[in-house]
Amino acid sequence: MAVLDSKAPSGPLADKWTKHKNEIDLVNPANKRNIDVIVVGTGLAGGSAAATLAELGYNVKTFCYQDSPRRAHSIAAQGGINAAKNYQGDGDSNYRLFYDTVKGGDYRSREANVYRLAEVSSNIIDQCVAQGVPFAREYGGLLDNRSFGGVLVSRTFYAKGQTGQQLLLGAYAAMNRQINRGKIQAMNRHEMMDLVLVDGKARGIIARDLVTGEIERHSAHAVVLATGGYGNVFFLSTNAMGSNVMAAWRAHRRGAFFANPCFTQIHPTCIPVSGDHQSKLTLMSESLRNDGRIWVPKRIEDAKAIREGNLKPTQLKEEDRDYYLERRYPAFGNLVPRDVASRAAKERCDAGFGVNKTGEAVFLDFDAAIMRYGKEKALTSGMKDADNASVRRLGEEIIEAKYGNLFQMYEKIVDENPYKTPMQIYPAVHYTMGGLWVDYNLQTTIPGCYAAGEANFSDHGANRLGASALMQGLADGYFVLPYTIGDYLSNDIRTGTIPTDSPEFDAAEKDVKDRIAKLMGGKGTHSVDYYHKKLGKIMWNKCGMSRNAKELQEAIDEIAALRSDFWENVKILGSADTMNQELEKAGRVADFLELGELFAKDALTRNESCGGHFREEYQTPEGEALRDDENFKFVSAWEYKGAPKEAVLHKEELVYENIELKTRSYK
């Protein structure tokens, strides 16, 4: 167990990062020119890391499977980015952001990392504004804020419902500046197939050119994995179609420990599944819970009538509606954290109160907000006795200004007008808190292999708060990794270029080619999607919003069986030495079929409920998560030993020196 040294600096919480920065070794500017760094993934974490490392003087190569770095899935983040600026004067501070994040994560994250995140959060906003990111502003010209779940302050900065897009385009622009200077070489439409270790250190990768099918060797003094999360193990998620775990899983197979794989975020407000053809799920931003009220009918017969189309939700009287979040959690109401809101929706639907055909949807209703805003607008426009229709029209205009793009998206997908009838929403897989285990320096258990953003496990514990993913991605990439990686690279100033004709590169390339040949050589009965969908069903039904020992064991067995079926019977047409999207998918699904089993094993091992991990056996009489700090106050870090069932558990005990462990309450 001694292998897991968090390397968190000693000393008072607020001084740790400054102290650490002062103590780590630096590389002088002339020597940086002799050092190569590979960054895999070009989302917020990878893009910002690549730009900053190149700006510092390192030679950077970036890799992404998309045709441009700008298309990484950070682009789809809607609601906003947190920062402890306290511009609203509502009592925010670094400590409060730190506290909210640790509590929101149900006390399963590392104190020192989270405090550092809070500490650099303000800088992110300064940086992005300097880069020309067009955040929303108030009439006075200063930056506007809104609220997100699980907190009592307004600290979320946003750019309409496209915050991720604007932040990513900022990082992409910073990358472009370095590409133009020749400091970043961007390898787009390239996928990392394996990590290459030389003398136990990460020294390069094997990549596949997705246009030509060519297998390439790339060496570097360090490798940064910023490849996002693994939500697509569920097949249906809000992730992009191409989002995958391959890079992280290849590193895991080469020795990087995988932490807390079972900590997955199921987001409460997504557009419900409409049929078997569904390829992905679409999020409706958490920011909507600022103004939307979530409800189901109070009486089961009303729910049935709505499901059958005999009753319209707008016909149901106020007293016949159950605003269950406001009822159960009066202090936070509709803005409880995501895990709590998702479970509450599932509880109502399981009890028979679901409101769509499949019985798996609840209402998100803007009527009250429309009327409230409309009344205010009427008064400030001098219309003292405006009629209902005018008030409604004015209110709808304000809602449109706030959430117009989300409402438009909803209408395009569902074919219903959410201004007139409440939205139907249901939880969906959205984010994975688990990921590669990293120390305070963001280094994995492989020296020279770093993980940033969603790809690592470090900051969100068992549940991530809204608007914190963007914050963490940019914090890691702009402000943490560029410092900490220098400490490691300072030992490499005399190393010289890493050759790619070594036996280690030969062996890794052969492994990759053999694996591709094996995939292409399947007997060919079923498509890749056939297996992916089957895996997704097992994951959703047995490792989803609530889990129990019996079903987790079943999941482990079923996934293992599905995996061997896959390797024997998957059908991939075409050839490997050309563009071949089925082959790309197959490689990714093959890794999901291993990760899925480890996921279930991790969930089975964790005999407690915390955050997004809800074990039915461990709950309070009111159905809330029952944590077990005595036995499970640790990070599970799994070591690869062949088949997932052989994986060995290492524990990083979590130490709380600055926060008192309490039962999370949002009541």
Partner 1 sequence: MKLHLKIWRQKDASSKGQIKEYPLNGVEGDMSFLEMLDVLNEELINKGEEPVEFDHDCREGICGSCSLQINGEPHGPDRMVTTCQLHMRKFKDGDTIVIEPFRAKAFPVLKDLIVDRSSFDRIQQAGGYISVNTSGNTVDANAIPIEKEKADEAMDAATCIGCGACVAACKNASAMLFTSAKVSQFALLPQGQVEATERVQNMVRQMDLEGFGNCTNTGACEIECPKGISLENIARLNREYLTASLKG
Q: Is 508 in the site for partner 1 (CB under 8 A)?
A: no
* Closest CB to partner 1 among residues 41, 150: 41
> What span, in angstroms and rounded, lies between the C-alpha atoms of 303 and 473?
41
Task: Tell me the sheet residues that pair with 197.
Answer: 202
Q: Is 523 in the site for partner 1 (CB under 8 A)?
A: no
Residues in 579-618 that interact with partner 1 by CB under 8 A? 579, 581-582
> What span, in angstroms and rounded, lies between the C-alpha atoms of 44 and 262?
24
Among 437, 478, 634, 640, binds partner 1 (CB under 8 A): 478
* Closest CB to partner 1 among residues 399, 635: 399
Q: How far is the CB of 47 from partner 1 (least distance, A)?
A: 10
Question: Both tokens of residue 56?
Answer: 């510092």
Q: Which pairing describes strands 59-63 and 184-187: parallel, antiparallel, or unpaired?
A: parallel
Residues in 221-240 that interact with partner 1 by CB under 8 A? 238, 240
Q: Is 563 in the active site?
A: no
Residues in 380-409 that interact with partner 1 by CB under 8 A? 408-409
Where does 258-394 show beta strands of DSSP type E? Answer: 258-259, 264-270, 293-297, 321-322, 362-365
Q: How many CA atoms lie within 13 A of 398 on its CB side?
A: 19
> What span, in angstroms and rounded, lies between the C-alpha atoms of 318 and 300?
15
Q: Is 574 in the site for partner 1 (CB under 8 A)?
A: yes
Part of the chain binding partner 1 (CB under 8 A), chosen from 121-129, 360-368, 490-498, 601-609: 121-129
Residues in 186-205 that interact with partner 1 by CB under 8 A? 186, 188
Q: Please measure the distance between the N-terminal and C-terminal CA atoms of the chain and give it in whole angstroms.
A: 38
Part of the chain binding partner 1 (CB under 8 A), chosen from 410-418, 455-463, 506-514, 624-632: 410-418
* Closest CB to partner 1 among residues 166, 334: 166
Among 176, 185, 421, 502, binds partner 1 (CB under 8 A): 176
Contact 426, 362 (CB under 8 A): yes
Query: For the window 257-276, what string marks contact with partner 1 as x by the rule CB under 8 A?
Result: -----------------xx-
CA angle 423, 424, 429 (to 5 degrees): 120
Give residues with Cβ within 8 angstroms of 316, minimum separation 6: 297, 302, 306
Could you please report the per-residue DSSP string of 356-378? STTS--EEEE-HHHHHHHHHHHH
Q: Is 527 in the site for partner 1 (CB under 8 A)?
A: yes
Residues in 278-307 that interact with partner 1 by CB under 8 A? 278-280, 282-283
Contact 309, 384 (CB under 8 A): no
Query: For the window 126-145, what string marks contact with partner 1 as x by the rule CB under 8 A?
Result: xxxxxxx-xxxxxxxxxx--
User: Among residues 110, 203, 321, 338, which one is catalytic?
Assistant: 338
* Closest CB to partner 1 among residues 376, 582: 582
Q: How far is the CB of 231 from partner 1 (least distance, A)?
A: 13
Q: How far is the CB of 571 from partner 1 (least distance, A)?
A: 6
Q: What is the CB neighbour count within 10 angstroms for residue 290?
A: 19
Tell me the CA distances in angstroms from 131 to 81, 178, 453, 477, one per residue in order.
Answer: 16, 14, 20, 15
Give residues with Cβ within 8 angstroms of 408, minimum separation 6: none
Residues in 540-569 that interact with partner 1 by CB under 8 A? none
CA-closest candidate to residue 156, choices 72, 75, 95, 97: 97
Tell me the CA distances in angstroms from 399 to 367, 403, 408, one per residue in order.
Answer: 10, 6, 12
Part of the chain binding partner 1 (CB under 8 A), chosen from 122-130, 355-363, 381-389, 489-497: 122-130
Q: What is the CA radius of gyration of the chain?
A: 25
Q: What is the CB neighbour count within 10 angstroms for residue 151?
A: 25
* Closest CB to partner 1 among residues 411, 628: 411
Q: Is 431 in the site for partner 1 (CB under 8 A)?
A: no
Among 16, 20, 71, 460, binds partner 1 (CB under 8 A): 71
Q: Is 66 in the site for partner 1 (CB under 8 A)?
A: yes
Q: Is 125 in the site for partner 1 (CB under 8 A)?
A: yes
> What span, in angstroms and rounded, lies between the C-alpha atoms of 24 and 21?
6
Question: Both tokens of residue 572?
Answer: 């991939």
Q: Is 120 in the site for partner 1 (CB under 8 A)?
A: yes
Residues in 32-51 that interact with partner 1 by CB under 8 A? 48, 51
* Closest CB to partner 1 among residues 42, 219: 42
Q: How far is the CB of 500 from partner 1 (least distance, A)?
A: 25
Q: Is 242 in the site for partner 1 (CB under 8 A)?
A: yes
Which residues form the catalytic set? 338
